[in-house]
Amino acid sequence: MQKSPLQIARQSYQPKMPQALRSSLQIKEGAKTQSVADQEEIQRLFPNTYGMPVLTFEATDNADSQATKTNAINVGVILSGGQAPGGHNVICGMFDALKAINPDNQLYGFLGGPSGLIEGQYQLLTGNIIDDYRNTGGFDIIGSGRTKLEETWQFDKGIEVCNKLGISAIVIIGGDDSNTNACVLAEYYKQKNCGIQVIGCPKTIDGDLKNEMIETSFGFDTACKVYSELIGNIQRDANSAKKYWHFIRLMGRSASHIALECALQSQPNVCLISEEVEAKNMTLNDIVEEIAQVVVERAKAGLNFGTVLIPEGLIEFIPAMRTLIQELNDLLADNAAFTSLEGDEAKREYIKLKLTDASRELYRSLPKAIAKQLTMDRDPHGNVQVSLIETEKLLIEMVSKRLAQLKAEGSYVGKFSTQHHFFGYEGRCAIPSNFDADYCYSLGQTAVRLIQAGKTGYMSVIRNLTAPAAEWIAAGIPITMMMNMERRNGKLKPVIQKALVDLKGKPFRYLEENRAEWADANTSYIYPGPIQYYGPSEVCDQPTKTLVLEHTCK
């Protein structure tokens, strides 16, 4: 493959990792664990992998430590779900750890995600292949996919394929849904006593796979730095041209972690946080009024420009909108009468007849383009696809109307010209930052140590992430401890609990304390610039603002 000079240079970068992973290891077991909620039901569903202890890897002088296991093994790896910077380094860390333990160990990559395990599509990963992907973005080394592993026949096909290849362990690299699959698979294989271990690895740029044991998911750092660079560039342009309000929607369906982190890095004039909107029971008009007032105040100082950050999932956190969307989800499920209608207006009138009074009024108030987007094809769970809803355009139109009212009243004299943006795919496959390159490599190394130790149903974890990499802590946590019961497609199912923005947490409180200053006439933008791969550690190796605030603020 052709490579850019940066890619060639990055290929030689040696990821930093915890000192313990460079030594002989011993395992320290913590207390028994329990699920985050619904303990009795989760224990009933996962009797073989529930209640296991947290494991910590520590350096030892004993070469015959309890983690040592030198017989040659074959391991399979799966990339699952959306791409996130650093996935290749997890695989590189696994490969290097396996070969260091025993050069005869083999690593197989299942192609196209979980479906590769079921269909027996795989590739033996050799040193030449691995070296081409060190410290690179993307998931193209073996590809990814969103096939769910939840049926018994799928599990049994996996056993058949693994037995054919002599694979005794599988590592699933993915987000909350993918690691839920890993948990179910581990339980089934343990119950069947088929000799196949399953280890998970925390991936998602959304940042919602975190808890007291998982400080951050990989890819979040890089993606936020990419988006923050773009936001900084836009803010510099706005501060130069002095004529546009930029409404910027940021990826993150269920949580506003990306929007919050980008705000901490760039200091926009407005940053909406979905979880705050829900907690305050804000209406769409409340949000519009909040933005409009910032526009008015800046216009008084002659500043007819600014930036507004919008989380992708905002619309589902507005209580009245959530009710409307749920009514639409129920109404449009397998509705042949609706799909047979011709023309947008006929479909619009049909929907208005079927909604409750409150939802009908809200639906009528929406711009027609947005109302249409709310009725587009649902995702596999039967839910609206929020990435297709152009919330930034909705807010621009509604803020513009409100400003026109204020101008008619004489309380606004500015000019409101706008630009709209959606940042999502721009960050998913970026060359990983030093932090993510180091973090992911360490996650891969730790996954292999868990396999060495004969563990299953665990997630590879690296902690103490605001310290230098040598001081990071390698650990394994039972996936069952993150599980709870949630309704999916009308049925209660065990899933990993998503982590939303904590409104009492230090990162949000910092935003809350500073947002008025960032909105006022004294421009306080920060221009983060591009990711720095070479130079002083304080420039190149910094974790996210979120992590720093969570760990160092009083």
Q: Which residues are catalytic?
A: 206
The CA distance from 261 to 264, in Å, is 5
Contacts of 155 (CB under 8 A, 6+ apart): 149, 185, 188, 189
Secondary structure E strands in 138-229: 167-174, 197-202
**Most distant CA pair in the chain, distance:** 81
132 exposed, middle or buried (CB, 10 Å; 0-12, 13-18, 19+)? middle
* Dihedral sign for Cα atoms in the order 20, 21, 22, 26: positive
Cβ(292)–Cβ(270) below 8 Å: no
Question: Two tokens at 336?
Answer: 């042949």
Selection from 227, 390, 253, 205 nearest residue 307 by Cα: 227
The CA distance from 226 to 137, in Å, is 12
CA dihedral of residues 497, 501, 507, 509 (deg, nearest 10): -130
Secondary structure E strands in 327-482: 418-423, 458-463, 473-478
Secondary structure E strands in 277-409: 306-311
Selection from 190, 314, 189, 301 nearest residue 248 by Cα: 314
The CA distance from 526 to 146, in Å, is 37
Neighbours of 485 (CB within 10 A): 17
Distance, C-alpha 285 to centroid of its chain? 29
160: amino acid identity, one letter: E
Cβ(219)–Cβ(282) below 8 Å: no
Helices marked H in 412-505 — which ranges? Answer: 425-428, 434-452
Cβ(73)–Cβ(449) below 8 Å: no
Helix 176-192, helix 152-165: angle, nearest 10: 70
